[in-house]
Structure 1
Amino acid sequence: MTLPDLTYITAPMVDQSDAPFRMLTRRYGATLAYTQMLDPDKLIDDREYLQVHLRDIQAYNASGSDAAYARPIVVQLCGNDPEVVVKAARQVQTHCDGIDLNLGCPQEHAREGHFGGYLLGKKDWPLVQSIVSAMSHSLLVPTSTKIRLCPSSTPTATTATFGGLLEHAGASWVTLHARHVSAKRRRQGAADLDAVRALKEVLSIPVISNGNVHTFEDVRTNLEYTQADGAMVGESLLGNPMLFSGGDVPDPVHISLEYLGICKQLPDIAHLKTVQTHVRRFVEFQCSRRPWYPKFRAAINDCHNIHEIDALLRRKVNRWRGKAAKPLGDEGDEVEELSDKEEVETRDNTEHAYIYE
């Protein structure tokens, strides 16, 4: 099977891996994007759940200009039953370029359901092998796994051994988020890049490094140190979806409007709450210390649709930042600086919260 380009990967993130966001990161350097983790039982038994996620997986810009950014895509599944996981994967395999088994989810519901990162203990290794083997022998697309450090007194060596079992079972690549599973603290401590390097040394299939990335320079440093075949980034892309491009951090209003533009072209794909969270994170990444930021958080939570978010960004947020309001519907226009008279008016109207970015 032909593997997708694994160099720069947008990670699976709960309620934040919607098609518009995936396509935004693909515009700016991501070579591959994952969906959020999907529940195999629901894909099989809940027709509405299946249709919602199929629409997301199949979404693309009807104009064709962004069609190239919709793929490649990997669908991530969880689960602990080989038959169920394979049956669910078959529902989506013709619309994606790979199926990933989540072996890293640290959340409490994963512990309760006995999946994700709670399958990393040695007692569950035979079960995991059977799932991966069933996937690799039954599906039309490559099978991958996303793992964390195995629980052990020697986690680096144990994780490398586990990785070898995954390769033998038929995994086409392995992504290692080199932290231990912790339901209370998802990113407890720094990721152990030595464990990624050790895994790379023993596997013949590609290894992807996940963790310790805030900038594109971190990506370069990570790959140079670990010798991994690619880097997966999640949290940092939520603030800067242009991270993989290696350029400057984008203007928060401009990148928010670009994201909203994709949402408008792909209506009813991303839920309003998802859109609000993305835009809030874009703005928060650079402006969380601005005096007006609490007002922005309250205002975006009060928005009832994408057009209200658009107007909030173009009018209030730009004026709070000391910029001229942008005309509605003109994503491409540059933001103009305020005149001296407008600067004074903005200071007065925002209770002296006027700050240039």
Structure 2
Amino acid sequence: MDNLPLVKSLVEKLANNLNVPVSCKIRIFPNLQDTLSYAKMLEDAGCSLLAVHGRTRDEKDGKKFRANWEAIKAVRNVVRIPVLANGNIRHIDDVHGCLEETGADGVLSADPLLENPALFAGYRTAEWGLGVAGMKEDDKLDQAELLIEYLRFCERYPVPWRIIRSHVHKLLGEWFRIQPSVREDFNKQYKLTFEFLYDLVNRLKELGVRIPLYVKDTQQAVSAN
């Protein structure tokens, strides 16, 4: 963002020499007009899809800084290419709200999706310590089963262990809060194996950790929370 001519040349080089569309993802500038000029520059350079993170590059903490949907809306209004909105997407209600407020063509989610892989399927994590009485079985997902499913995908389609470690930490965050000793054992494990991770889930179950459910984000689910 300190060298926009270089950014423009990179996008132009790619757009002119690739047989696939070029997409870009940007953060916003503190000044809205700078952001709009940035977006139009990328469009002119050959960008075919633009994702806009509604925070400045200094606003790293998503829990502390709310994404600026108004800025994303302004970008959407000045470019002709599809725009994806990024920021403040923690559950399916946020998806609908963001699309309505920004007019974007789609949304992105980062950390919340790592914590809840079923976010876009309309599920949110039930509050710890609160029951979900009355919920239909079809409206519940077992978080442990989702984690096991994720690990099986990783076995089938290998990814770096550092990514698996980070994702597992996100998924087991609440469990680790209740059983810090298990978290410490996990963090001390220099070399991870799938056997260790499967055993970790079983260990938490044996310790009697209450497994949180993902509940369908309907009015019934919301009232249960």
Shorter-chain TM-score tier: 0.7 to 0.9
Q: Closer, same or farther in 2 for the Cα pair 1:201/1:295, shift >3 Å?
A: same
Task: Say yes or no: does 1:180 pair with 2:67.
Answer: no
Q: Which has the larger radius of gyration?
A: 1
Structure 2: segments with no counterpart, 5+ residues: 126-140, 211-225
The Cα offsets for residues 97-119 of structure 1, whole Å up to 9 and x where unpaired, read as xxxxxxxxxxxxxxxxxxxxxxx
CA–CA separation in structure 2 for the residues paired with 1:304 and 1:163: 42
Match of 1:34 in 2: none
Equivalent position SS for 1:172: strand
Is 1:295 the counterpart of 2:171? The answer is no
Q: Is the 8 A contact 1:255 1:282 kept in 2?
A: no
Aligned pairs (5 A) from 1:1-357: 120-121=1-2, 124-151=3-30, 155-182=31-58, 185-187=60-62, 189-249=65-125, 250-266=141-157, 269-284=158-173, 286-290=174-178, 292=179, 294-301=180-187, 302=189, 304-314=192-202, 316-321=203-208
Instruction: Give the 3 Å change call, closer, same or farther, for CA 180–322 of structure 1 in structure 2.
Output: closer
Code of the residue aligned with 2:206 in structure 1: it is R
Q: CA deviation at 1:299?
A: 2.6
Superposed CA RMSD in Å reads 2.1
TM-score (norm 1): 0.50
Letter in 1 for 2:149: E
Q: In the alignment, what sits opposite 2:132? A: none
1:326-353: CA deviation from partner (whole Å, max 9, x where unpaired): xxxxxxxxxxxxxxxxxxxxxxxxxxxx
Q: CA, structure 1 residues 321+221, in 2 after alignment: closer, same or farther (shift >3 Å)?
A: farther
Partners of 2:209 and 2:170 lie apart in 1 by 20
**More contact order relative to length (CA 8 Å, sep ≥ 6):** 2
Cα deviation, 1:182-209, whole Å, max 9, x if unaligned, reads 2x84546211110000000111100110
Q: Report deviation, 1:305.
A: 0.9
What's the offset of the Cα at 1:125? 2.5
Match of 2:50, SS state, is: strand
Return the alpha-carbon distance in structure 2 between the equivalents of residues 288 and 220 of structure 1. 31
Q: Residue 182 of structure 2 aligns to which amino acid in structure 1?
A: F
Unpaired segments ≥5 residues, structure 1: 1-119, 324-357
CA distance in 1, matches of 2:169, 2:6: 41
Tell me the secondary structure at the aligned position of residue 318 of structure 1. Answer: helix
Instruction: Name the CA shift for 1:322/1:165 in 2 (closer, same or farther; >3 Å).
Output: closer
Do the aligned partners of 2:176 and 2:183 also contact (CA within 8 Å) in 1? no
User: What is the CA–CA distance in structure 1 between the aligned matches of 2:109 and 2:204, rounded to whole Å?
Assistant: 28
Report the Cα distance in structure 2 between the residues aligned to 1:310 and 1:258, rounded to whole angstroms.
11
Identical positions, percent: 30
1:307/1:289 Cα in 2 relative to 1: closer, same or farther (>3 Å)?
Answer: closer
